[in-house]
Each structure stands twice: as structure tokens, then as C-alpha cells.
Structure 1
Amino acid sequence: MAAPLTSSDGLTVHPATQARFDDVRTMVGPKKPTSNVCWCLSHRIPAKDNRELAGPARADFVEALTRRRTKPGVLAYDGDEVVGWAAVAPRADLPFARSTKIPHVDEQDAWSVWCIRVRPGHRGRGISHVLLEGAVAYAVQRGAPVIEGYPVDNRGEKVDLTMAYVGTRKLFEDAGFELASSTEATSAGFPRVVMRRDA
């Protein structure tokens, strides 16, 4: 097995390869395979494509992503058990490249980290921090000059769990990211900001 991207306190982070697709399914697949939700596609592909991709075709689409040279994200493990997911990809490949609400800071080929999920029953252990470090490590490994996130600036207030996947400004600050710009986007009633970290 390949060495982990990062490890801390018994947790390791690995790229979401095709061999790990069942773990991707565990983290972002719906309980009911015919559901037209999640699979972490709403910010990966244009809204029209996301609406048209139905049921098991969503799983097939993501499985195909795991076979590409650039994987769709990273997975966190506690031993052999998958406990977290973070989506990371070149911004140019994502709808963020055309966003009217989240500005481009400059013309660098930034990579985006836009979804961080920790499995229920494993929260409160710092897994999101390890995941973010792993996502950054993967982006750097793939040649990213700079990495961005678009978390909420919640100023310590509680964020609804269903919307917490975007992360918080503090999570990104703890990982060495700096505030680069405000945005016109919101999530769970909080403003979102552009946080950046050089590779």
C-alpha cells in the first residue's frame, strides 16, 4: 500500500483511488442507491448535469472519477475504518471557476477544498483537521501552487450539521490558510469567505 498523505494520532489520509471506492460510497453515497442526492457532486459538476444524473448513475460517475489520474478527494482512516472524506480538485475543473458569488483572487491555478465530512460517531476527534491537511498534501503532490477553501465565517457560533461540510474559517486558519477575500455566498445563514494557503 502507498504511504499515507498525512497521519496523526492513529489517523491516516489517503487519495480516493478506485480500490477505495467502497469507502467513498460509505462517506458520500446515499443509504438508498436509487436516491438522487449527495455523492459530493453538487459543486463538482454543473447544476444541470447534477440534476440529470440519477440514482446508480451517480455512483458510476464517481467511480469513474476514482479511476482518473487526479482522484476526486481524500479519505481519512482510523486503522482500517474509513472515518472521513474531503473533496479536492483543481478549481478550473469545477463550477467554482464560473461562480458569480465566490471571486477569483488571482490567476494562479488554485485547487479547491470544498467538502469535509466526518462520519457520525467519530466527530470531536480532530478528524476534519487531519482531512484538510491530507487534502492540501494531495493538491501539493499533484502540483497545486495554491489551495483554497470557501468556509463559513461563523465567529464561533454553532453551524447546522447538514451545512457544516463547507468547513469553518477557524478550521482553515488552524491549517495555515489566510483570509483572501469575502464572497457573496452564504451557507447556514453565515457568510462564506475565501481562505488560501500557498503550497
Structure 2
Amino acid sequence: MSAMQVVPAHAVPWDDVVAVFGTRGDAAHCWCQWWKLGNADFRAANDVEMCDALHAQAGDAGSSPGVVAYRDGVPVGWCGVEPRRRYARIPRTRALAAALDGQDLDDVGVWSVVCFVVPREHRGKGVTRALLTGAVEVARDAGARVVEAYPIDTAGRRVPSADLYHGPLGVFTDAGFDVVGWQRPGRPVVRLELVG
């Protein structure tokens, strides 16, 4: 299997992002905006508005909203990663806010990995792991001290594929993340302290 390259979204052609998100399924209706909007705004926005919002965000080299993975020049996945403070839904989600109790949710040194999009034909080939590695490197290069995520614990239970956009817990723990809290059973909060 050939090696993958992971590139910040601002540095890739927009058509490559569109190819990953596709035209069907949850990704094509969300465009990585669910974490950024409140419920009413998310429900009111249509697919074109969501796409346009990500397109505008991806065009800003100073605040790229994620990374794209390539295998042999073909875009095979997306990971949303930005400073935690850009995700308005985090402090509004009671269980998540409770799991983060005592933290400064506006701390610019904490970045969050919030979603993965891997088209069906590229699943099971290490794309999510490559995306996470690339996301951590982008955060580190931008000065992050901590990378945080809110994955799904799949151990011992069947999880619908639609819920796996958060990423499976094992991918994070294999990458050195530690479980630091729980939103509820099956939904941990994980963190990776970046050094050097």
C-alpha cells in the first residue's frame, strides 16, 4: 500500500475537498460546520451555504479548518482540526462542557479534532490514522500545546458508521492520546500534550 500525504486544507485545490465530502451522506450536508454553529443556525442553513462556509474557511491560510489526505495524488479523506475556541458547539453541549469543567474553553493553545470524512471506497486502509497524524502536526506547527478530541469508544459494541465521524477511540489512544474525561458512557474526551 502506498504512503499517504496529509496537507492543510488551505493548500489544496477546493475540488479535492469537494471530492472527499461528496454529494451524498452526512458529510455532504454538514461540510464540517456542525461544531461551529448552534442548533438553530445549523438547521436553518442549506447544503450550499454549508459548502460555501467551508470553502471560505479553507481559503484562509492563517486558519485552515482541517487537513486532506492523499494517496497517489487522489484525495482520500478529511479531518477537521482547529483551535477549540472556534467550535461554538463545544461550550453549548452540556455533557461535553461538563467533561471539560474547569478549563478555559477560549485557550488558543488547545486545538480540537472534531471529525473525519473518509469516502466508503477508502475506508479500512489507514486513512483515519494518517489524517490524525497530519492533524496533530498541523496543530503543533501552529503553536498548539494540546490536541483534544471527542471520539467514540467502539470496544465491545456495535457502532453505526454514521457515528464514527468522531473517530474511534483506539485510533487516538494508539497515537498517544490519553482519556481525560467522559461525556457519557462510550464518549470519552482525549488529549495529547504536545512537547518540543
1:90 aligns with 2:86: no
Query: Which has the larger share of helix?
Result: 2
TM-score (norm 2): 0.85
Hey, what's the Cα distance between the residues in 2 that align with 1:43 and 1:61? 13
Q: What is the root-mean-square deviation of aligned Cα atoms in Å?
A: 2.2
Spell out, residue by residue over 1:76-120, the C-alpha distance to the aligned partner (whole angstroms, 9 max, x if none): 000110001100111111111332111226335421101112221
Partner of 1:104: 100
Contiguous gaps of at least 5 residues in structure 1: 1-7, 185-189
Hey, what's the Cα distance between the residues in 2 that align with 1:195 and 1:182? 9
Hey, what's the Cα distance between the residues in 2 that align with 1:36 and 1:174? 29
Contiguous gaps of at least 5 residues in structure 2: none
Distance 1:76 1:19, change over 3 A: closer
What is the total number of aligned residue pairs between the two structures? 185
| Worse-matched range after superposition: 45-54 or 136-145 | 45-54
Distance 1:140 1:18, change over 3 A: closer
User: 2:186 is paired with a residue of what secondary structure?
Assistant: strand
Partner of 1:117: 117
Distance 1:110 1:86, change over 3 A: same
| Equivalent pair of 1:172/1:195 in contact (CA under 8 Å) | yes
Q: State the identity as a percent.
A: 32
TM-score (norm 1): 0.84
